[in-house]
Amino acid sequence: MNASSAMPSQHLSITPSELSAPVISRSDILVVGGGPAGVAAAVTAARSGAKVTLLERYSSLGGLASGGMVLVLDDMINGQEITVTGIVSEYVERLQKLGLAIVPPADDRKTSEELWNKWGRYGTFDFHSHTTPKPICYAAAFDPDGWKRVSNDLVREAGVNLRLHSWFSRPIVENGVMKGVVCETKSGPQAFTADIVIDTTGDIDVASRAGASHVKDNYLTTLVFRLGNVDTNAAEAFEQANPKEARAINRKIKRILGGAWELWWLKTPIEGVVWCNAPHMTGYDGVDPADMTAAEFAARDRITEAVDYVRAHLPGFENCYMLDVASQMGVRQTRLLQGEYVMTKDDVTSRRHFADAVARGRDYYYPYRSLLPKEVDQLLVAGRHYSATPEAQKMSREIPPCMAMGQAVGVAAALAVESRVMVRDVAAADIQLGMRRHGADPGDVPSSNATIDQAAVVSA
């Protein structure tokens, strides 16, 4: 199967009647994309008193956290300081109560061989550290269906008007102002209107088609899979007793997969179930259907070969079976907004602090301007497609910080509705206060190792 076998494209004339769509709902705020950032935005805005509609193309909420099975929440600490809080903390607490999240206790968040052997295979370590073993830290290994369940509960409790199976098609823009979107559904095209639209699609599908400036690049794509019936105790005992042999076997597995992080398999909250954040593949365009089709086939071929090898050679995996493959390809980078401020690699690495910071990650900060398109009014973005250079985005796109961005734009949109002002005119200081009311850290107080950006003074 390849793109060259497809029929040549036909240039068709589309009439206005064929573009018409019935208006299904009218909301204060419309969120497009039900991944981690989208749910954070929708729930926060609804809790703030706004009438909110959330649209999601798949059959469940969660995006890459559930459908993509990216099953560790990390990049939430600066040393011992927990920097990403708010709705992500709610997820962790609710998942723990369900027995579907593993978090190292505070006393175990340090560096030692013993603690590494206890927690390392859950992925709950500081992956930025250059020490061996890496320090155990505040992070959470979780179950993907548990994530869906918590997402449903949060959306339902907040009173969000949720529409699944609704694939964004085109924006509704009048004189440079967002008015809503049209989705494709099994019932045909349907329109949803709102005072403010929030794009949390991950690829700025809405903003790019509405005319917002953006750049395009790519990074890794990954089709995650899980294995069942793994004797993790036996596997870990083998690795600890035979490190040289284990390294050789794991190197071979990673070569078959074509790329993986240091640990190609990690434990999950479900005994005997491991998740494999691999294969890592380069050269695929995450918004090109032909490329994504090729990536799906390439990944599954590698997975099949790797699992066969694992059964034959890795102790503890002799009787494992393929439990599932992620329903959603893990795409890390495609289109990136070029908004009112474009975050740079130096901003991230120098820990530059901005006066209008409204969300933070590990030790970096997101200014409100990086969530605002320049050309389109009443539109906000949040998530991995925020306004940044490709180099900066690679270092600042983990799920918890994306949720913090979602919570920040949810606060901003609700404030704009309440005050009847344009969303770009909402004061950063008011968003910061709103974030704190929702239990989130907006990054308004810089850490001791932050670099203060004297130029980023935004009037309230």
Q: Where are the domains of the chain?
A: 22-103+138-217+333-460, 219-331
What mean pLDDT is predicted for residues 72-77?
96
- Asked whether this chain's domains 22-103+138-217+333-460 and 219-331 adopt the same fold, the reply is no
The share of the chain scoring above pLDDT 90, in percent, equals: 92
> What local confidence, expressed as pLDDT, does residue 20 receive?
85
What mean pLDDT is predicted for residues 245-258?
96
447: confidence class by pLDDT, cuts 50, 70, 90: confident
pTM of the model: 0.94
Per-residue CA distances from 371 to 239, 277, 404, 406, 456 (Å): 45, 29, 12, 10, 15
DSSP string of 69-116, one letter each residue: ---EE---EETTEE---THHHHHHHHHHHTT-EE---GGG-S--HHHH
pLDDT in tens, 52-62: 999 999 999 99
Residue 22 dihedral angles phi and psi, to the nearest 5°: -70, 145
419: confidence class by pLDDT, cuts 50, 70, 90: very high
pLDDT in tens, 124-141: 999 999 999 999 999 999
Residue 176 and residue 72 in contact, taking contact as beta carbons nearer than 8 Å: no
Do the bridges between strand 357-360 and strand 321-325 make them parallel or antiparallel, or are there none, so unpaired? Answer: unpaired
412: confidence class by pLDDT, cuts 50, 70, 90: very high
Per-residue CA distances from 390 to 211, 306, 365, 395, 447 (Å): 20, 31, 16, 9, 25
Question: Does the structure show a pLDDT above 50 at 352?
Answer: yes
> What local confidence, expressed as pLDDT, does residue 259 receive?
87
Question: Does the structure show a pLDDT above 50 at 183?
Answer: yes
Distance between CA atoms of 350 and 204, rounded to whole angstroms? 27
What mean pLDDT is predicted for residues 290-318?
98
> What local confidence, expressed as pLDDT, does residue 460 receive?
34
455: confidence class by pLDDT, cuts 50, 70, 90: low
> What local confidence, expressed as pLDDT, does residue 152 receive?
98
pLDDT-wise least confident of 93-97, 226-230, 451-455: 451-455
The share of the chain scoring above pLDDT 70, in percent, equals: 94
What mean pLDDT is predicted for residues 396-406?
98
Q: Does domain 219-331 have CATH number 3.30.70?
A: yes
CATH for the stretch 22-103+138-217+333-460: 3.50.50.60
First to last CA, the chain: 56
* Average pLDDT score over the chain: 94
Question: Does the structure show a pLDDT above 50 at 324?
Answer: yes
What mean pLDDT is predicted for residues 158-171?
98
Question: Does the structure show a pLDDT above 60 at 6?
Answer: no
Question: Does the structure show a pLDDT above 90 at 11?
Answer: no
Question: Does the structure show a pLDDT above 60 at 456?
Answer: no
